[in-house]
Every structure is written in structure tokens, then in C-alpha cells.
Structure 1
Amino acid sequence: MSGFKVTSWNVEWLIDHFDVASGVVQPGSKRSRRTMPSQEHAAAKLDAIRRVISEIDPDILLLIEAIPGPDRMLEFVAQHLPDYRLVTRGNVSDAAYHIQGEQWIWFVMKPAVMEACGAHLLDVGTWQAYTREIYTATEARKEHKDGQWWVSAPSIITVDGKKTIGAPVLKPHSHYRHPQVLVLDWKGARVEFVGVHLKSKHIGMSVPRRKAGESDKAYYSRADVRLFLANAAIARMKLTTEATDVRHYIDRRFEQEVLPAIFVLGDVNDGPGKELVEREHLLHDLIGNLQGDVFFARRFLNHALFDNPQHLRWTSRFEDELEPGKPPEILLDHIVFTEALSRRVDGALRIQPHAGLVEHEIFERISTQMPSGTQISDHRPVSLYVNEAV
């Protein structure tokens, strides 16, 4: 093998379409607040996913919003991705993955690459032990345990029967979907792929509607808008700590090796009012938390799409009602990597300029063949070509 192609793709509620196609749930029935698709739409989506993946032809594929539990996911791969193999934790309970909900994180690989590289998933307990070691104070280590940490955020309280914003409080937090780390032995060199899907951007509230002709100042001064923004900011604070926990794992690996070869890939949810929250509350974005500090250049993560033109550097469309008029194209899906994979340093693998791309052409061409009223996914795949060092 002279290298490989890695792809990350959020396939949007795969379980719903697979369950309808498999006869597990009835078309049109309700699951939580979701209405199940028709048989036609379910079959069309599953076939389109297969075709997109076949044309992208990745050696390593991260699927986001995939099927919960290894047994059902193995069924999906066998039926729809027969040229790939699912990377599992072996004969263990579902709890060993530390993923809640119905949107799981899975790596699938071409069998030849999987076998040649001894592909396996890092034990979640190892991750949690490493991230705990970053906290140097004894008391902080005691509190950061079992994959939990503390978040200080405004409280939401009820006064005279109405919800309002209260004083900050400390609350425990953890990954809703714990990162899954694929480990490969690439001809004697350890290579890691950290698959992430940070907690959902949805906060269980609708964006308050603007009144006709209402100015930004008047709109953002309203009590209902302030309450919504407080909830959005709290969600972003939690997301920030999840991204920071990923960064803690990476920093710990740099305490063990001079230049560890690590990729971080997946869906980094930003949430409603992304720029507004960053501008007025947090002053940073989530990918910035992951990438690290450029002043510590060897630990900084390079972005696969850094040298892509701006008009192609997006993976999802999101109409942000808090800031109408803002371009809906946003980059939620990322692949970043350590300096060990840069062509400027020695290592087993190299990433050349212009090696990353969003798979717009394949996605859009196959999307044109979908039935009216459905879509393949609300995210587009992002890929990266990785070459062997010469």
C-alpha cells in the first residue's frame, strides 16, 4: 500500500431509513418527534449512500449518525457496503462504546487495509485515564473521573412563573457520544483516527420570531430572545468542553511521543447563533479548540481543507434564524491532523498540498436522482488523500 484515502460523512439519521427498509418500524410511524420515511424514500437513501461511498472509494470511512449497536450496524454493512468491514470492539456490550442515543460513530474499512494494519479501537478507559492526567492539581484529578468534568454556566431559573437567567452554577458534563479512536499500525508506525460527533446543536427551543421591522438591538433586548441566547450559550459552553477534552487527549499523546500521528475527523456541531455567540460570549470557535495554539506549532492541527477555495469549503447548509442574511453554507465536518503527517517533518506518511476536498460533485450528481421530498443527507462527505513517505 502506497497510501490511503480517508473520508468522514454524516449520513443523517441512518437508523430511521434502515429500520423502515428492514421492516423494524412502519413507514410514516413516529419515533420520538420524527416521522419515519416511506419505503420508497428509505430504499432510495440507502442505495444513494452505497453509490456515493462506492464512487468516493475511501479506504477508511467514518460514518456519523450511523446505526446504534454493533449488531445492527454489522447488518447494514453486510447488506449495503459489502466491500467494507466494520471496526468493532469485539464481543463486548454496547455500553463499552460509551455512546448514548440513536446516532452512533463507526469506522468501516476496506478489508485489505484493515488486516494489514491491525485496525482496532482504543479502549475508552484509556482515553479517560489520559485526559484525567492533564489535570495536574490533585483535587481537579479527583473531580475529573469516569469521563466526567465540571462546567460553569448560567443557570435557568423560574421567577414568578417565568424562566429567566440566573447565576452561574457548576454542573457535571461528559461526552454524549464518546469519541471513538481507530488505531492502525502503518508499517511499524502508530496512526490514530479520533472520530468525533459533538453534542447536537439543537437546544429544544425554537428561535423567537422577529417582529416586522424590528431592529437587532430591540430584538436581542427581548426577554424571550435573551433566554434563548442563554440556552444557546450554555450549549456552546458544554460543546467547548467536549472539544477541549479531545484536545486534552491529543496533548497527552504529545507527552508520550515527540510527533504522534493523529487525525481528528467528524462533525463538530456549532449551534444556533454560531457567530453571534462567538462574537459576544466565547470569542472562539470549536475547531479552534481542537486545533490548539499556533504558538505551539508542533502540537497544532493542520486542516485538510486549508488550501481549498472558500466557495468549496463547506459541508452543510444551515439557515440561522438568529442572524438572517448570513450565508447558509457552513463547514461542520472536518479532518485535521498533527505535524507528524505534514511534509515538513519526518514520518511514515505524508499529506501533500490540495489533498483534501469536500465531495461536492459526487454528492450533487447522485442527489439529482433522489425522489422528490427526500435527500441523501444534510451533510456532504469530506475526504483526504494520505501518501506514504518516500
Structure 2
Amino acid sequence: MARFVIATVNGEWMNDWFAPDRMDGAAWRPTFVRDGVECDTEQAAGLLAGLIADLDADVVALQEAPSRAAELALFLDTHLAGRYRFLLGDSGGSQKLALLARTAVEAELVPPAGLAGLIEPWLVDVDGDGLVNEYEFTRDPLVCRLTLDGNPLAIVVAHLKSNFINRGEQMWRDPARRIEFVRSALQNRRRIANEGMRMRQYLDARLDEDPDAAIVVLGDFNDGPGRDLFEQQYLAHNVTDLLVGSSYRPETLFGHALVDVPADLRYSAVFDDFVTEEPQKRILLDHIILSPAMAAGAGVRKTPGSGRIEHDAWAARRVGTGERRDERATDHRPATVAVET
């Protein structure tokens, strides 16, 4: 039996670390600015690389990767030399999706021709005006074919639309502009939900073709756990439950790897919520879900009880308070799961 660890890591604006696009390759910025603070690039990049090394995963789904392959190669060559090969998506602007794989893992991108039912624009109503318009992913999911110990595994790396609103707190606290904030918040969540729906349609089609397919979907879903205030009071749904599947087709329900984590530790990010006035609110933005065959089937299957949120590894790569970008590896705790063949 062979065992492999799969991780999801949000790199938190890795693109900040590199000089503007240049024809002769990639170069580090000595410093960068994030949240109005000048930060040390070498320290920030070293903390993230140290966290990835500590996870010791065979496969790493990376969100908020650099915008160019030369930049990601520079990061890996400088800090993780010889450990990983990578695949980089071509969607997402300055926040790309990437997959890092050890040399023992065969990995390739599914070509766009095989993803027509996923990444091509589709018709939806994302602003609640009753009209449908063409919409497309903020960042196309990165769909990869892997071979683990001779067994096929599909991995879908996702970073769904952010629900961030620029100057949102000022809008919320201004009675004259609060409704503007609410409308923007709802539009963002409708976009996230429609991206989740599109992914689920793709997964259903894959399972219709092969009910025994081993598929891992992971990354930053910008959702969860449960329903936030806007989902409770306006939309009556969340996104992760949509991605997991429908109880009307129980044979297609995905399992959530992080149910293995105790409920009080089932979070991957912490922030002050100015809407609900909750300081240090714990939320689970980072997820790993697995196709039904991975519960007990042949081929690649989940190691029972192996889902983890890597709180200790994250804390070990924090300097001081971790408030500055160069005092933390990332603002998301990574999540991991082990699979075996």
C-alpha cells in the first residue's frame, strides 16, 4: 500500500513579491507593500516555503500563486529546490492557481478542450434583477490528471469569487450607504454560488461517465462553515453544501475531509467581522471534498480519519503577532488529507 498527502495552501498574494513583468525571466522585489505596510520579501517568501516544507505533502494545491510561471519557478528554485514540479493555470490575473507535485507523482493539466462544459461562459442572474447574462469564473478551476502508484486521480483546484467589498466597513457603518453594501454583498455571494453550481454540474457529468472516478476538489471556496448572515437572511443557501451534492442522488455525494477535525478547530481563517460585530471570528474558507469512490473503493481512497487543518504548522511559521504580511506564511491555515492505494 502506498500513501500520499494532499494539501491546499493559499499563498496570500504571492504576486506582490516579484518585479513587474519582464521579458528576461523573473526577479524578486526586495520589499513589497501589503495593507499599507512595507514588508520584507525574503522573509515572507521564506515563511511560506517553510510552511509548505513542513507539511511534507506529495501534492499541494496553491491559490494566489504568482501571475507567471517564471515567478513560481523562482520561488521554488530559491526556497524548495528539487522538491516539486508545478502546473500553473492561465486564469486569475495576479492570483493564479497552481499544483505542486513531487517527482514521483505524474501530473498533467486537462486541456481546455476537455473542459468546455466547465470553463466556457454560461447564462445566470448574478445581480438579482431577473435577467440572465453571460458569466464566467473569476478564476477558472485548475483541473489536473494525476497518477498515484499507477492509479488515476483527478484534482480540481478552486478559488471561488471573493466576497470582499472595497471600503466595505465604511459603507456598512454609513446608514445612507448600508443598502449599497448589502446589494454588493449579495451580488458577490450569488457569483460564488453560481461558480459552485457550475463546478457541481461538471462533477455530476464526470460521475455520470464514471461513477467510480477518484476526484478531489480543494482550495479556497470563500464559504463556510454553515451560512453567514447574508446567506441566512437573504439567500437561504451556502456554497459548500451545493458542491458536495444532492441528497436526491446519494450515490454522487462527495465527502468532506475536514469532518475529521474537531468542531472547535474546524476553521482556516480568523478575522474581525464588522457586520456581526464578532472579533476574531473563525471561518472555514479552505476545503477538501472527495468523490464517493474514495470512501471505500478500489484505486485511490481516503485514509480514514486523515483530514486535518494544520494549525500547529501554521503557528510555527508565525513571527510575533503575525499581523504584518512578512510575519506570517499566509493568512489561511492549510488543510491536508492522506490518500492510499
TM-score by length of 2: 0.88
1:27-63 superposed Cα distances (whole Å, 9 cap, x missing partner): 356xxx865743xx32112111222122210000111
What are the ranges of 5 or more consecutive residues in structure 2 without an aligned counterpart?
21-25
Are 2:139 and 1:193 aligned?
no
User: Where do 1:351-362 residues align within 5 Å?
Assistant: 351-362=302-313
Find the aligned partners of 1:234 and 1:88 in 2 and give their Cα distance: 32
User: What corresponds to 2:236 in structure 1?
Assistant: 283
Structure 2 counterpart of 1:176, one-letter code: T
1:149-168 superposed Cα distances (whole Å, 9 cap, x missing partner): 1221447xxxxxxxxxxx44
Using the aligned pairs only, state the percent identity: 26
Distance 1:274 1:208, change over 3 A: farther
Are 2:316 and 1:365 aligned?
yes
Are 2:225 and 1:252 aligned?
no
Residues 121 and 182, structure 1, Cα contact 8 Å, conserved in 2: yes
Displacement over 4 Å in runs of 4+: 22-26, 33-36, 208-211, 369-372
Structure 2 counterpart of 1:101, one-letter code: G
Residues 198 and 268, structure 1, Cα contact 8 Å, conserved in 2: yes
Are 2:8 and 1:16 aligned?
no
Are 2:216 and 1:263 aligned?
yes
1:44-98 superposed Cα distances (whole Å, 9 cap, x missing partner): 1211122212221000011111111212212221112213333337xxxxxxx44
1:245 Cα deviation from its structure 2 partner: 1.1
User: What corresponds to 2:94 in structure 1?
Assistant: 102
Residues 293 and 300, structure 1, Cα contact 8 Å, conserved in 2: yes
TM-score by length of 1: 0.78
1:178 Cα deviation from its structure 2 partner: 0.5
Number of residues of Structure 1 aligned to a counterpart in Structure 2: 333
Residues 259 and 340, structure 1, Cα contact 8 Å, conserved in 2: yes
Residues 15 and 94, structure 2, Cα contact 8 Å, conserved in 1: yes
Are 2:298 and 1:347 aligned?
yes
User: What corresponds to 1:333 in structure 2?
Assistant: 286
1:180 Cα deviation from its structure 2 partner: 0.5
1:299 Cα deviation from its structure 2 partner: 0.9
Structure 2 counterpart of 1:53, one-letter code: I
Structure 2 counterpart of 1:52, one-letter code: L
3-state SS of paired residue (1:294): coil
Find the aligned partners of 2:171 and 2:200 in 1 and give their Cα distance: 37
1:186 Cα deviation from its structure 2 partner: 3.5
Residues 333 and 382, structure 1, Cα contact 8 Å, conserved in 2: yes
3-state SS of paired residue (1:319): strand
What are the ranges of 5 or more consecutive residues in structure 1 without an aligned counterpart?
90-96, 132-145, 156-166, 212-218
